[in-house]
């Protein structure tokens, strides 16, 4: 919805007041058949206010507020969303990660941060061009989003790095680690599937670093850094696998 301009606001209010005042004057003249007295002027004023206020709200104020709220929502969406994949960007991921850490401490329930880096993505870009690379990123984002639970958060840090924040794994660490690992392996399997692009078959893999979140306070950026370190260990030990960060 396009916002009203100042001229449109003034014009609408003027039209409303003039039209209603004319109708009220005609009504009073038809009913009283005589010149206005002070009491009749007061009635005129009260009627004008009572009739014009809801009309001004519906025709002027509400469209203005709706347009403003829509613009603010769009600005926030652009500020917190990756424009290519429509996933959460680094800023929004950091906000969610902060809440995830706090929730794990409060509920004594482990959570996990999965940092995913695509294997072979540079080759796709080099051999097929950046358009093919973008198509791969969009398809990987779709697969991650469709495979993740509704309560989990999927985002893109930038480049070919993605993040999944997994909430409420389990209070028991061993069980939580097993569930986080199974989720990571599921994502690797989804990413490994072929991607069709303009008659070509593209393939990428994934290496994943896992930072299990326990019951201690920690900085979101530190958690991301530790998951990143685990991801590089996964690459160094053969790629296409998931590795936990160990203290």
Catalytic residues: 160
Cα dist. 15→11, 48, 51, 64, 82 in Å? 6, 13, 13, 17, 44
CA distance 14 to 8: 10
Strands (DSSP E) contained in 40-160 are 110-119, 153-158
Go through 184-219 and write b for each residue having 16 or more CB atoms within 10 A of its CB, e for each that does not: beebbeebeeebebeeeebebebbbbbbbbeeeebe
> Is 121:128 a contact under the CB 8 Å cutoff?
no
Cα gap 181→209, rounded to integer Å: 10
């Amino acid at each position: 919805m396009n916002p009203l301009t100042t001229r449109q606001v003034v014009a609408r209010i003027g039209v409303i007041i003039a039209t209603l005042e004319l109708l009220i004057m005609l009504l009073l003249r038809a009913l009283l058949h005589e010149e206005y007295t002070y009491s009749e002027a007061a009635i005129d004023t009260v009627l004008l206010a009572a009739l014009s206020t809801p009309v001004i709200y519906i025709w002027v104020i509400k469209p203005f507020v709706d347009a403003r709220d829509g613009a603010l929502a769009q600005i926030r969406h652009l500020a917190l969303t990756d424009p290519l994949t429509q996933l959460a960007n680094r800023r929004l991921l950091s906000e969610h990660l902060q809440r995830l850490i706090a929730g794990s401490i409060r509920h004594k329930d482990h959570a996990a941060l999965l940092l995913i880096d695509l294997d072979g993505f540079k080759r796709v870009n080099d051999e097929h061009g950046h358009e093919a690379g973008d198509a791969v990123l969009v398809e990987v984002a779709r697969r991650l989003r469709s495979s993740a639970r509704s309560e989990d958060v999927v985002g893109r840090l930038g480049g070919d790095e993605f993040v999944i924040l997994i909430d409420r794994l389990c209070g028991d660490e061993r069980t939580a680690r097993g569930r986080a690992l199974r989720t990571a392996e599921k994502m690797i399997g989804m990413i490994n599937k072929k991607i069709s692009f303009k008659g070509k078959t593209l393939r990428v893999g994934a290496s994943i670093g896992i930072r299990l979140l326990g019951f201690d306070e920690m900085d979101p950026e530190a958690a991301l850094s530790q998951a990143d370190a685990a991801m590089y260990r996964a690459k160094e030990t053969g790629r296409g696998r998931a590795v936990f960060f160990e203290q």
